[in-house]
């Protein structure tokens, strides 16, 4: 089952979608990221592995690999997602 993550904070115009894709690739996760009209970023990831989901969200919040990212994610909400895994930035 896919998951929808909504990232809030300073997340648009700061390489957030690329940042999300780099951590997903490191963990072997397929997905997409899209800017939303309210200033947040929606990430759809194709996994039902809870451990992998926790690793991914932790990496996004902490940036342990020091990936270039000029913003700050302050919160990530996670929900099940049943639609197509796609967006304006696919990985």
Task: Give catalytic residue positions.
Answer: 17, 35
Helices assigned H by DSSP within the chain? 16-27, 50-62
91 neighbors 23 (Cβ within 8 angstroms): no
First to last CA, the chain: 17
């Amino acid at each position: 089952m896919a998951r929808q993550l909504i990232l809030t904070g300073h997340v648009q115009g700061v390489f957030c979608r690329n940042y999300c894709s780099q951590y997903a690739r490191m963990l072997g996760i397929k997905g997409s990221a899209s800017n939303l009209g309210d200033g947040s970023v929606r990430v759809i990831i194709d996994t039902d592995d809870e451990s992998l989901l926790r690793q991914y969200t932790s990496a996004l919040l902490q940036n342990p690999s020091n990936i270039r990212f000029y913003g700050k994610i302050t919160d990530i909400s996670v929900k099940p997602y049943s639609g197509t895994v796609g967006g304006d930035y696919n990985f």
